[in-house]
């Protein structure tokens, strides 16, 4: 499996940008409060790291992106509800090559002690992701799809969530999403994508109140736009089901 050199160059630039403090990019024609309300459904499994984000898959294991876990800015601890939790292990997928490839962009963080009150997401094991409506979640700055990150951004660092639909699966192990503009086919009521700062965060699929994690935020393609986060942008999340065996073996 390979990626064209020009795509690789663009992607690596985007991977670096994803460590900046910006989060969910929303529809410009929907009240922002609705994105806050959706986020309430996801906050039990979401965790904001010192760099990027992650998802609890147990009360002491966090799933994130390799390009997040491998940067110095992530440090060796995370603060949750005012309590500091030390990292016991940071385990990056052994085939990931920092700075040279976007493949295998997945990692695990083990904490020294469990975190009370979390609602872990379950690892998705099936191969039927295409067509599923998922939820992205993040904190930090927020923008809208009509201007992307070239326009005004909100810097309140509140938790927001947005919807999107999985359109395809890339051969090198990524789920593909598109930021559909309002009044176009496929646009969801709370359509959106993640942005810089959300790397490592989840694509969650809900069956009732139960959450499965289908993807881990990796990178984005501007798709011809002048600014990141505009309508039409393509987003790629590491496909979790493809790494389920590695995750389980690592945790066990």
Q: What is the pLDDT of residue 155?
A: 65
What is the Rg, in whole angstroms, of the alpha carbon atoms belonging to the chain?
A: 16
pLDDT of residue 125 exceeding 50: yes
Average of per-residue pLDDT values in the chain? 87
Q: Number of H helices and number of E strands within the chain?
A: 4, 17
205: Cβ contacts below 8 Å, ≥ 6 apart: 124, 129, 132, 133, 134, 135, 211, 212, 213, 214
pLDDT of residue 1 exceeding 80: no
Per residue in 181-207, pLDDT (tens digit) is 999 999 999 999 987 777 899 999 998
Strand partners, 80: 83
Using CA atoms of 231, 156, 194, 74 in order, give the dihedral in degrees to the nearest 10.
Answer: 150
Q: How confident is the model at residue 3 (pLDDT cuts 50, 70, 90)?
A: very low
206 burial class (0-12, 13-18, 19+ CB within 10 angstroms)?
A: middle
pLDDT of residue 61 exceeding 80: yes
How many alpha carbons fall within 13 Å on the CB side of residue 123? 21
Q: What is the pLDDT of residue 187?
A: 97
The Cα 139–Cα 34 span in angstroms is 15
| Residue linked to tokens 């965060």 | 201
How many alpha carbons fall within 13 Å on the CB side of residue 31? 4
Taking residues 123-150, report their average pLDDT: 89
242 burial class (0-12, 13-18, 19+ CB within 10 angstroms)?
A: middle
Taking residues 127-140, report their average pLDDT: 91
Task: Give all domains of the chain, ordered by start, each with its CATH number.
Answer: 5-42+122-241 (2.40.10.10), 46-118+245-251 (2.40.10.10)
Per residue in 68-124, pLDDT (tens digit) is 999 999 999 999 999 999 999 999 999 998 766 789 999 999 999 999 999 999 999
Q: What is the pLDDT of residue 174?
A: 97
- % pLDDT > 70, the chain: 86
Q: What is the pLDDT of residue 236?
A: 95
- Pairing outcome for strands 210-221 and 141-144: unpaired
Per residue in 6-44, pLDDT (tens digit) is 444 444 434 444 444 447 899 999 999 999 999 988 888
Q: What is the pLDDT of residue 114?
A: 97
The answer to whether the beta carbons of residues 203 and 213 sit under 8 Å apart is yes
């Amino acid at each position: 499996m390979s990626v064209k050199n020009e795509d690789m160059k663009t992607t690596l630039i985007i991977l670096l940008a994803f460590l900046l403090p910006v989060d969910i990019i929303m529809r410009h024609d929907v009240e922002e409060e609705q994105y806050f309300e959706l986020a309430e459904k996801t906050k039990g499994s979401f965790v904001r790291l010192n760099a990027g984000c992650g998802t609890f898959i147990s009360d002491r294991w966090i799933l994130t992106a390799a390009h997040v876990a491998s940067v110095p800015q992530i440090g060796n601890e995370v603060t949750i509800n005012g309590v500091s939790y030390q990292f016991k292990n940071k385990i990056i997928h052994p085939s990931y090559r920092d700075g040279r490839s976007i493949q295998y962009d997945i990692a695990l963080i083990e904490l020294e002690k469990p975190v009370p009150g979390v609602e872990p997401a379950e690892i998705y094991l099936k191969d039927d992701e295409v067509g599923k409506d998922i939820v992205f979640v993040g904190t930090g700055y927020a923008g809208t799809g009509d201007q992307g990150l070239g326009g005004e951004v909100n810097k309140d660092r509140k938790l927001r969530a947005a919807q999107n639909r999985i359109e395809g699966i890339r051969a090198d192990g990524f789920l593909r999403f598109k930021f559909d503009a309002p009044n176009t086919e496929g646009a969801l009521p709370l359509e959106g994508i993640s942005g810089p700062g959300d790397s490592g965060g989840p694509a969650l699929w809900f069956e009732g109140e139960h959450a499965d994690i289908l993807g881990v935020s990796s990178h984005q393609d501007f798709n011809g736009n002048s600014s990141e986060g505009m309508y039409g942008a393509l987003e790629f999340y590491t496909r979790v089901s493809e790494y389920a065996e590695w995750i389980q073996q690592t945790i066990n």
